[in-house]
A = this chain, B = another copy of it.
Amino acid sequence: MTAEKLQVAFTDILKAHQRISPYIHKTPVFKNSKINDLVHRELYFKAENLQKTGSFKARGALNAVLQLKEKQTNLKGVVTHSSGNHGQATAWAARTTGLQCSIVVPSYSPAVKMEAIKEYGAELVECGPLPTDRNAACEKIAAEKKYEMIPPFDHYHVIAGQGTIAVEFLEAVPNLDAILVPISGGGMIAGIAVAAKHIKPNIKVYAVEPEGKILEKSLRAEEMLWPNPPQYLNTIADGIRLQQTGHLTWPFLLQLVEKEVFTVNNEEIIKAMKFVFQRMKLVIEAASGAAVAAAMSDQLQKLDKKIQHIGVILCGGNVDIDKLPWF
């Protein structure tokens, strides 16, 4: 089988970084001696929970919006569907670039998430509970208002934007041997893998999934074995609850990401979240907790001892602090 040529190159990611850097935070990298003692490796935490809008999604959404504006100087607005981090990120990216924005959200979305999107000045459009309802609502708005759609992960400009995380991470910590990346649709890990593998070809990029995703089986089979339509997993990590990866992100996973996947359950995620809150003084959402749980897992203990310097992506901090999962 000949490997498909990947549609995002390292130079695309460097250009994305130049494009978005004036607006995003170069997030800090933290270390913690207690966790290093526990796991007998050196861990480095890239704090995208401190990113604009509270998650890494600001990078990809902004890069996509800016690239659209470069091509379509008369662009009026953008639309997407997401009550979560991508919704906030797209609303913020639109406001930052002076565009109008509609965000389609399921009508049962928590009020706190809808408020966050409204605060960035976006119009909220409620829709039915099915993924197909959302797409239909998006397409209707795009057609009527002549807005462009910004997909949450399955888009090359979004992937390039997320890849900028790795550019900053390896600049700050050049000796990383591996990176643990929470995965949902796969946009973040695709971008990170392109950049990290280019900068340091021997680096290992591991996906971290919630129980039930069963990514490893598809990776080893080199085939997307998931049922259609895409399902949501029953996990507290709402940011990574989509079972199926994207179709555009899939070839990146196949070519660049380790076949060995880290799988974590709710209990492990909560324990990891509590560690980060209590010891590192950072508010993280459960999807970030998943990456930390992987770092604290028995599975990690079994990795080759040469994998000594390990990066952990704290992908976001958008958790409702009135509903922390350990209360």
Contacts from A to B (Cβ < 8 Å): 28, 30, 34, 49-50, 54, 119, 274, 277-278, 280-284, 317, 320-322, 324, 326-327
- CB of A321 within 8 A of CB of B278, answer yes
Q: Which residue of B lies closest to A50 (CB)?
A: B281
| Closest beta carbon of chain B to A276's beta carbon, Å | 9
Q: Which residue of B lies closest to A318 (CB)?
A: B281
- CB of B322 within 8 A of CB of A54, answer no
18 contacts between A and B (CB under 8 A): A30-B50, A34-B119, A49-B281, A50-B280, A50-B281, A54-B281, A277-B283, A277-B321, A278-B320, A281-B282, A281-B284, A281-B317, A282-B283, A283-B283, A321-B326, A322-B326, A324-B324, A327-B327
| Closest beta carbon of chain B to A246's beta carbon, Å | 27
Q: Which residue of B lies closest to A47 (CB)?
A: B281
Q: Can you name 18 extra interface pairs (CB under 8 A) apart from A278-B320, A327-B327?
A: A28-B28, A49-B281, A50-B280, A54-B281, A274-B321, A277-B283, A277-B321, A278-B283, A281-B282, A281-B283, A281-B317, A282-B283, A283-B283, A321-B324, A321-B326, A322-B326, A324-B324, A324-B327
For the complex, give the distance between the alpha carbons of A282 and B274 in Å. 13
Interface centre among A28, A30, A277 (most CB of B within 10 A): A277
B residues near A50, Cβ cutoff 8 Å: 30, 280-281
Q: Which residue of B lies closest to A55 (CB)?
A: B281
B residues near A278, Cβ cutoff 8 Å: 283, 320-321
Q: Which residue of B lies closest to A49 (CB)?
A: B281
The 7 closest A-B pairs by CB, nearest first: A281-B317, A281-B283, A277-B321, A49-B281, A278-B321, A277-B283, A327-B327
| Closest beta carbon of chain B to A152's beta carbon, Å | 21
For the complex, give the distance between the alpha carbons of A49 and B34 in Å. 16
| Closest beta carbon of chain B to A27's beta carbon, Å | 10
For the complex, give the distance between the alpha carbons of A317 and B49 in Å. 17
Q: Which residue of B lies closest to A326 (CB)?
A: B322
Q: Which residue of B lies closest to A277 (CB)?
A: B321
For the complex, give the distance between the alpha carbons of A283 and B280 in Å. 8
B residues near A119, Cβ cutoff 8 Å: 34
Q: Which residue of B lies closest to A276 (CB)?
A: B283
For the complex, give the distance between the alpha carbons of A10 and B119 in Å. 44
B residues near A274, Cβ cutoff 8 Å: 321
